[in-house]
Amino acid sequence: MNQKTLIATGLLVGLLMMTGTTALAQDSRAQAAVDEDIKLFRKDVRSGKKQIIAANMSLTDSEAQQFWPIYDQYTAELATITDSKYSLIKEYAQNYVTLTGEQAEQYVKGRAAVEQSIMELRLKYFPIFRKVLSGKSTALFFQMDWRLGLIVDLQVASQIPLVEP
């Protein structure tokens, strides 16, 4: 990872640590505030990801003109998928204390389906990005996308308690 990537990734991690995403079970008034916090958190993360990608892609003007509209479309589709992930997390958090075995199983299957959908989206967009970028630049973009996604997932996961057997 180059110096710019390390700095930008550090900034994203710092942003994540400052905003947090406590989605634990709460009363309905507090839940509305948490929902708004998560919405703002996700917006900040998307903005941070875009800045990190912009700082590290070294796109020509021609490439940038073609890349960013595709990126925005990709990100919009990815946000729709991650909406379902956050819905699953919210439902899990609301039922955590009284979670049944069936609910736990549905949660795991739901998360697996989300991860599969994300991978299918990446595979769908790989040839689209490849039409406007070199193979190496396309690979770099997806490497950054994966890594940044893992950082976000780790931060979110650290806020969610594990299932109690």
pLDDT tens digits along 94-117: 888 899 999 999 999 999 999 999
Q: Is the pLDDT of residue 15 over 50?
A: no
pLDDT, residue 45, reads 79
Report the SS3 class of residue 87. helix
pLDDT, residue 27, reads 63
> Do 15 and 155 meet the contact criterion of CB atoms below 8 Å apart?
no
Closest to 26 (Cα-Cα) out of 159, 152, 164:
159
Instruction: Tell me the Ramachandran region of residue 60: left when phi exceeds 0, alpha when psi lies from -120 to 50, beta otherwise.
Output: beta
Distance CA 3, CA 120 (A): 31
**Model pTM greater than 0.85?**
no
Averaged pLDDT score across all residues of the chain: 83
Structure confidence at residue 2 as a pLDDT band (50, 70, 90): low
